[in-house]
Structures are given as structure tokens and as C-alpha cells.
Structure 1
Amino acid sequence: MEKDIKSLLLKYKTFIGLIVLCIVISIITPKFLTITNIINVLTQVSVNAIIAVGMCFVILTGGIDLSVGSTLAVSGAIAASMVYKGANVFTAMVVALIIGALIGLFNGIIISKGRIQAFIVTLASMTIFRGVTYVYTEGTPISGLSESFMIIGNDKILGIPLPVIIMFLVLFIAWYLLSQTRYGRYVYALGGNEDSSRLSGINTDKIKTLVYVICGATAALSGIIVTSRIGSASPNAGVGFELDAIAAVVLGGTSLAGGEGSVIGTILGAMIIGVLNNGLNIMNVSPFYQSIVKGFVILLAVMLDKKNK
């Protein structure tokens, strides 16, 4: 019986951790458990959660993508400039998503065909595409965007912010791909043992490349949402977002070694980070201390996860 309870707790540890965190913060500050604040938390979480879903695909294969923040910035800047010049909003969104996917394709091909470590490749592309963003924007924000574009990040449907709806749509699509398709099984197999996967006839290079394409596309989607929400595309957008995305994936129970994890856990991990940030903000904790607290929470989660394996 005790073993079954322990197994159950380990299986749902991320969800339990989120509930406990919500209870603690709501006891400390009653302002937390209000409808307005909960919707605010979900809206704030949406951008990181969407990036983290793409990052989950990459980490499940044993890889990493440090370029998502730069991908977000350059995709958002391109979408904003197109809208500013009078382009159709849908066209601008499609182009931005294609740009993000192409950056992912760039990373994936070099990693899979060049047999270079993902950390090195994506670190280089993070620098390259941040530079591209500065060159494209000439170092200044792109403002004056149309109201139709601003709808994406600020409108609501039945009282639910559009970014939150997009987040759950992305979650559903990712869950379906990973749990209900052959491609999803191959992703887990690749992360579990790449050599065995290759010997069993799986095109590991194709699977590996495609996870980076997915990650680039989700980063671009987040770039569209961020740009729409603030009504401006900043060349500094997305700085540090890769760390929050990786943290969400790790907190969600996905192994950095690959082959184990889920997008549902990743969303819960993103929620933990969002709830923690929101709670600390309500309690007027300095942003400097917030970084320290968040860092220790992530470290603790990794240590507990490693201990229980």
C-alpha cells in the first residue's frame, strides 16, 4: 500500500507541487485566488508554455535548443514589420511561423547531419539570430501596428484571453503527436537510445531535425503573441526565455537525458513558474530575490527527480 501511494505521488508530483504552491501562496495573500488574477497568471504563462511545448519535443530526444529567445525576437520583428507596411495579418503570421520553422530546420540539419552537439549549435544560432534581429530592426522597436494584429495578444473569447486558448490548442496538438502517432513513439525511442532506434530502421536524422522545426515554430508563435500583446517588436524580446522554457520542461518531469516526459507535465511546469512569479509579485518581493527563489526551486525539483529514479 505504501509503495502504491509513493508511486502515485511520484507520477503526479508536478501537479501536486502546483496545488501545494497555490495553497501556500493563497494563504499568504488572499489576492492570489481571484478570477482576475488566475486569468492573469494563465495569460502570463501562455508564452513560456508554448515555447516549452516545443522545447519538450527537443529534450525528449536528448537535445536542447538555446535559440528559442532569438527565434521569438526575429519572427516577431518580421511579423511586425510586415503588418506595419500594410500586409495582411494572416500572411504576416504565416511568414513568421515559416521563419521560425526554418531556423529550427537550420539547427536540426546541422545537429543531425553534422553530428555536432545541440548545445553548441543552438548557442551559435542564438547569437546569430539575435544579431539578425538587431540588423533587421536597426536596434529600434517596430511600433504602430494595426488593431487587427493587436487582437491576437489582447482579445478574449467568452472571457478567456486568446493567448490562453492558443496555448491549450498547442498543448492538444503536441499531446496528440507524442501520444497518438508513430512519430511520437519514434521521438521517445530516439531519446531512449539513439543507436538502437537507428538499427531498428528509424530515420533518426529526420526525427531529430523535425523536433527542432517544431521548436522553432512554437517560438515564432510566441513571438507573434508577445509582439501583438505589447504592440511593438523589440530587438531585445525573448532574452532569457530559453531558460524559462527549459525550466518548465524539467519541472514537468521530462528527463534531460531524453526518452521520458510529457507535454502535459511541461504545461504544469510552466504553471509552477508562472504561479511562483505571480505570487512573489503580489507579495512585492524584489525581482532580484525572485530570480534566486526560482533558481532554487528548479534545482530542488531536479534533485528530487534524480533521487527518486
Structure 2
Amino acid sequence: MENTKSSGGIKGLFKSIGTQKLIAVIALVAIYLFFAIASKDFRSWSTLVSIFDMSYYIGFMAIGVTFVIITGGIDLSIGTVCICSGLIGGQLYKMGVPIALCLIITILIGIVFGLLNGLMVSIMKLPAFIATLGTMMVTRGLGSIVTGTQSITYPLRTDPDGWYSSLFRIDVKTANGVMPIPIGIILLIVAAIIMAVILNKTRPGRYILALGSNKEATRLSGVNVVKWETLAYMISGLFAGIAGIAYASTYFTLMPGTGNGFELDAIAGVVIGGTSLSGGVGSVAGTMIGVFIMSVLKTGLPFVGLQPHYQLFITGLVLIVAVYADVRNRKTSR
């Protein structure tokens, strides 16, 4: 495959990526310290657990959508697919289906919607923005239709079928009461490591990166671009389904018609972590840094007295700044 960039440009791009990751780490530490200084209540174990709890569903969605963004695409449906998958799985449990099978079906539903997104983008040639926006609306409505607009409650940790939630948190009895241990962070890190290896060390990962760098050159080199572009969206759907399980295991109750907005947190985390919206550049490790920045922000803002509408406003600003930094890095690397 012909290299479309000069060696100097590539070196400059790698340098800018490393710089952006370093800035992201510094920003994460600074934001955490700011909230810790501003509010003594923030400096508690329960707050740290809340940060981890939020990082699960945002993190899984972000890992998946990293692959899509690297191809130069976008997936706006991950938030509603996350909730829709969880709602359908919960409705099946309500109908008597074993919880283990419900969790599997939840993930499969995410994969199916990822496949549909991939086919619309790669074969039907729909713009990714329009295709996934349509899927966002479809899944938002489907969750309400399946559940009859009723909220779905998953089994609690104290229930016999609540074992699945122990994958993300366990309660340890201490002299002062019960102490929650957020073991789900282990699952998130393991998933991130596996997907980082797939992205950087395997043929599918290299092809997905190549699609974002130069899709036409990749096609001319004999690579099946339809196959690998579709795979990227299927990975996004897979992790949206897993995010649905993570959300249910943390909050237990899912509301129909929700989930839109989750994708902004995930995409912001991806871009903050150094993945370019232009495609061809990105890393799962950087995504994880961005995810924790978003989790700390969303958890910490209420501690300084900001209401949800202010939180959404600040999230939007963070996304704009992250995209602007990406654009600047791309220009300076040319």
C-alpha cells in the first residue's frame, strides 16, 4: 500500500498524539484535584466508587466507538443501543427468561445494530452521521415499544439472580459497615488491553487503521473495505451491548426513551484521548484516559453545586475544545 504521508509528517503526527495524551493525563489529575479541593465530600471512597461506576458504561461504549472513529466514521447510536439492549434483555427476564441468557441476548442485540450500521455505511453508502442518527431514533423508540413505555428493573445484588452485578461491584463487610469494591474496573481494563492488542497487533486492526488513513488506497491494495468497515461498527455495537449490562448492573433501573447523550460522553472521551475524527489515528489507551476525564467531570460537577443542565453545557464545551485540539494537531503535523 502506498504511503500517503511523508515520514516527517508521520513523526510529527505521532509526536502530537503523545503530547495530547500527556496533556490529557495532566488534565485528569488537575480536574480531580480541583474537585477534591473544592469539596471535602468529594474526597471519599463512595465518590471514587461512583466515578468507577460511571466509567464502566461510558468506557465500554468509548472502546467500541474508537474503532469506528478511527475509520473516519461516527456512531451516534451507541447510547440508545446501550439502553435499548438493556431494556429488551430486562423485558425478557421479566417474562421468565434466565438472567444469563438475557445478558447474552443483550450483547447480541448490540452486535445486530452494529451490523446494520456497518451495512448502511459500507454497502448502502449512507453517511455515517445519518445512518447512525437513524439507528439512534429507531432504538430509542424500540425500547419504549418493547417495554410498553414502562421502566425495567434488573435483579438487585441481594437477589439470587443478581450475581451478574458482582462482576462490577462487590460489597465487603467491615467493622464500619459495608464497603463497596468496584472490581468492574478490572473488566474494563482487561477489555481495553485486549482491544488495544487487536487494534495495533492484528490484521483487522491494521486494516481498520488503514481505512481511516486512506480508504481508496486501502481498497486499491486489495483489502475488502466493506468487510473491515462493517466489522468496526459491529465492534461498536458489541461494546454498546456490554455497556447496557454495565449500566444495568450499576443502576438496576432502565428508563425507555433514554440513552441519547451517552454517546457524547463516549465520543468526547475518545477525542480527548487523541483519536482523530478525521480517522487513521487513535489508541484505546488514550480513550481510557479521556473516559476517566469525563467520569470525573460528571461525578464532580454536582459537588460544586452545578445542576444537570450546567453539566451538559460543560460537557459540550469539553467536546468542542477536544475537537479543536484534534484539528490543530492535524494541521501542525502536515
TM (norm. structure 1) is: 0.91
Say if 2:134 is the partner of 1:124.
yes
Counterpart of 1:89 (choices 70, 93, 99) is 99
Report the equivalent of 1:152: 164
TM superposition shift of 1:176: 1.5
Structure-2 separation of matches of 1:283 and 1:33: 13
The equivalent of 2:263 in structure 1 is: 242
1:195 maps to which residue? 216
RMSD of aligned residue pairs (Cα, Å): 2.2
Structure 1, 75-84 or 112-121: larger mean CA deviation: 75-84
Contact 2:114/2:234 (8 A) holds in 1 = yes
Q: Does the CA contact (< 8 Å) of 1:47 and 1:226 recur in 2?
A: yes
The answer on whether the counterparts of 2:20 and 2:273 sit within 8 Å (CA) in structure 1 is no
CA 45–120 in structure 1, closer or farther in 2 if over 3 Å, else same: same
Q: Which moved more, 1:163-172 or 1:109-118?
A: 163-172
Residue 61 of structure 1: aligned partner: 71
Shift of 1:120: 0.8
Q: Report the equivalent of 1:17.
A: 27
Rate the CA distance shift 1:148–1:225 in 2: closer, same or farther, 3 A: farther
Identity between Structure 1 and Structure 2 (%): 36
After superposition, residues 140-289 of structure 1 pair within 5 angstroms as 140-143=150-153, 145=155, 147-153=159-165, 155-156=169-170, 160-289=181-310
**Equivalent residue, structure 1, for 2:177:** none
- The 2-side partners of 1:297 and 1:30 are apart by 25
Partner letter of residue 29 of structure 1? S
* 1:43 has 2:57 as partner: no
Mean CA deviation greater in 274-283 or 249-258 = 274-283
Tell me if 1:110 matches 2:120: yes
Change (3 A) 1:13 1:101: same
1:149 CA displacement: 4.4
Corresponding pairs, count: 305
Distance 1:190 1:271 in 2: 28
8 A Cα contact 1:58 1:64, kept in partner? yes
- Mean Cα displacement is larger for which, 22-31 or 219-228? 22-31
Q: 3-state SS of the aligned residue for 2:152?
A: coil
Return the offset for 1:115.
Answer: 1.3
Q: TM-score, normalised by structure 2?
A: 0.84
Task: Report the alpha carbon displacement of residue 256 of structure 1 after superposing the two structures with TM.
Answer: 0.4
Structure 2 Cα separation of the partners of residues 65 and 48 of structure 1: 14
1:72-87 paired onto structure 2 within 5 Å: 72-87=82-97
**Matches of 2:161 and 2:249, distance apart in 1:** 6
Offset, 1:198: 0.8
Letter in 2 for 1:85: M
**What's the CA shift string for 1:157-198, capped at 9, x where partnerless?**
886324323322321221121122111111111110000111
Q: Gaps spanning 5+ residues in structure 2: where?
A: 1-11, 173-179
Is the contact made by 1:153 and 1:228 (CA closer than 8 Å) also made in structure 2? yes
C-alpha change, 1:172 and 1:148, in structure 2 (3 Å) is: farther
Contact 2:136 2:260 in 1 (8 A): no
Q: 1:258 to 1:225 in 2, by over 3 A?
A: same
Q: CA deviation at 1:66?
A: 1.1
* Gap regions ≥5 residues in structure 1: none
Q: Separation in 2 of the partners of 1:232 and 1:48?
A: 17
**CA–CA distance in structure 2, aligned partners of residues 113 and 42 of structure 1:** 38
